[in-house]
Structure 1
Amino acid sequence: MPPDERPTVEDAYDRLSATYDEQEDDPYCADLEFPATTELVPDVVGKRVLDAGCGSGRYTEWLIERGADVVAVDKSSEMLERANDRIGGRAAIHRANIEEPLEFADDGEFDGVVSGLALHYVENWRRVFGEFARILGPDGFLVFSTHHPLDVYEAFDAENYFETQRERMTWSADGEPVEVPFYRRPFAEVVNPLVDAGFRLDELVEPKPRETFEEKQPESYEKRLKHPTFLCVRASKFE
């Protein structure tokens, strides 16, 4: 496919926005990734937290309900409209690309960053983690979830595990296929950029599905009890 015809994440999520609530209800999110990631988030009462790659605002809403002062960013204008409808005036919402400098944020402005299933759309994690480190104050936390390197390596039958490569998932919007590009990477390219940016790895979780997953997709439950799907990480800014 010529470079100018390659699908972009922004275009994909603009198309997916109208039916994205279905993704939130999917057991892979509702009964696997989301509970595992939120369990890693420390007390946020009175804390200023960035939701990086907020999508339709699921994590933003969760953080607000737990007392955080939230700023949410995403580069899909359609997803931001859904987030705004969901959140109203309870959070500041910006259209921004987390792959670029976050010009609205001052050095040390935030107490935490949460990024749920957004970073695998980014190729250069060193740049992103460096920006997160800049905007976090002393002992600020970072919690994120992403595809598990082993799962996507096997699922896409990659030739070289050690390379960071662009892949494409095919989702559906109103019955029409939507190509969603993302990057798979080896485990070292998850951890090393984090450490290089000045973070201390506090906890790493390879979550297993909750029992409620089995009720919705029994055919996948047994496999996901034995095979990793997501990677959930909590880190702290090291001073």
Structure 2
Amino acid sequence: MTPPDDRTPAEAYDELAAGYEDVEAGAYNAHLEFPGTTSLLPGVDGTRVLDAGCGAGRYTEWLLDRGADVVGVDASEAMLDRAADRVGGRATLHRGDLAEPLSFAADSEFDGVVSALALDYVADWEATFAEFERVLAPGGFLVFSVRHPVDEFDPDGDANYFETERRTADWAADAPYYRRPFSAMFDPLLDAGFRTDAVHEPQPTEAFAEQRPERYETESREPVFLCVRAVAP
């Protein structure tokens, strides 16, 4: 097994893939992040959408069911296998790392990009947002969700809020991810030419309260996820 300090996100998610349904069904994913992110998505019927960091295919399936032509990209082969089992031949699935240039040679290939809880595993957002802008048609949408910077920062600890800091996700097989301030999220987005269209800090649903009643009041007062919709130039 790869030591935690040397593990890549892909290796960690290869290990997680077999039981990932339990993660998806958990209150934080199913009843906080997922409704928050999908609330920002426009109508996608007849559009071509890139699911960037598609994982086990939850958003891929959601987009397909609403009439989109979907291409899913993920760095984990095992998660792509789960996505393929989930959506069959309805979507095109590719292995690809969001930290690297996308494999699509053509510009303006997509009407939209969705990236749910994937960008936290990428150190350099400047390059990734530039690639999203390249493959999006003019006026295309980008919707992404990440861990909320406020939730990730401990004011009583030794961390510097203004630094982008590499951490390890204990719950996710020691996957390395990056905590960053708001400016390190929005400056690369704006530098790539995107216009921020909506910012959403989702609050837990009633279903969250039923599943995790002990956390409902806290998560109703303190942000956990940040969801953003932006428009390509």
Matched residues in 2 for 1:5 and 1:152: separation?
A: 20
Q: Judge conservation of contact 2:14–2:76 (CA < 8 Å) in 1.
A: yes
Matched residues in 2 for 1:158 and 1:80: separation?
A: 38
Residues 158/219 of structure 1: CA separation in 2 closer, same or farther (3 Å cut)? farther
Counterpart in the other structure of 1:7: 7
Counterpart in the other structure of 1:130: 130
Counterpart in the other structure of 1:175: none
Counterpart in the other structure of 2:114: 114
Deviation of the 1:3 alpha carbon:
9.1
Measured against aligned partners, the alpha-carbon deviations of 1:124-155 in whole angstroms (never above 9, x if no partner) come to: 00100000000001100000000000111129
- 5+ residue gaps, structure 2, are none
Counterpart in the other structure of 1:102: 102
1:151-230 pair list within 5 angstroms: 151-154=151-154, 157-171=157-171, 178-230=173-225
TM-score w.r.t. length of structure 2: 0.96
Measured against aligned partners, the alpha-carbon deviations of 1:67-118 in whole angstroms (never above 9, x if no partner) come to: 0000000010000000001111000000011111112341001000000100
Q: Which amino acid aligns with 2:191?
A: D
Matched residues in 1 for 2:158 and 2:29: separation?
A: 24
- 5+ residue gaps, structure 1, are 173-177
Q: Judge conservation of contact 2:4–2:175 (CA < 8 Å) in 1.
A: no
Matched residues in 2 for 1:142 and 1:57: separation?
A: 18
Measured against aligned partners, the alpha-carbon deviations of 1:142-175 in whole angstroms (never above 9, x if no partner) come to: 0000000011112994520000010011127xxx
Q: After TM superposition, where is structure 1 displaced by more than 3 Å over at least 4 residues in a row?
A: 2-5, 155-158
Aligned length: 232
Deviation of the 1:211 alpha carbon:
1.1
Matched residues in 1 for 2:187 and 2:6: separation?
A: 29
Partner-residue secondary structure (3-state), 1:83: helix
Q: Judge conservation of contact 2:104–2:135 (CA < 8 Å) in 1.
A: no
Q: After alignment, is 98-107 or 204-213 more displaced?
A: 98-107
Matched residues in 2 for 1:207 and 1:196: separation?
A: 26
1:20-99 pair list within 5 angstroms: 20-99=20-99
Matched residues in 1 for 2:5 and 2:25: separation?
A: 31
TM-score w.r.t. length of structure 1: 0.93
Structural RMSD (CA): 1.7
Task: Kindly indicate whether residue 226 of structure 2 is the aligned counterpart of residue 231 of structure 1.
Answer: yes
Measured against aligned partners, the alpha-carbon deviations of 1:26-58 in whole angstroms (never above 9, x if no partner) come to: 000111000010010101011000000000000
Task: Kindly indicate whether residue 19 of structure 2 is the aligned counterpart of residue 19 of structure 1.
Answer: yes
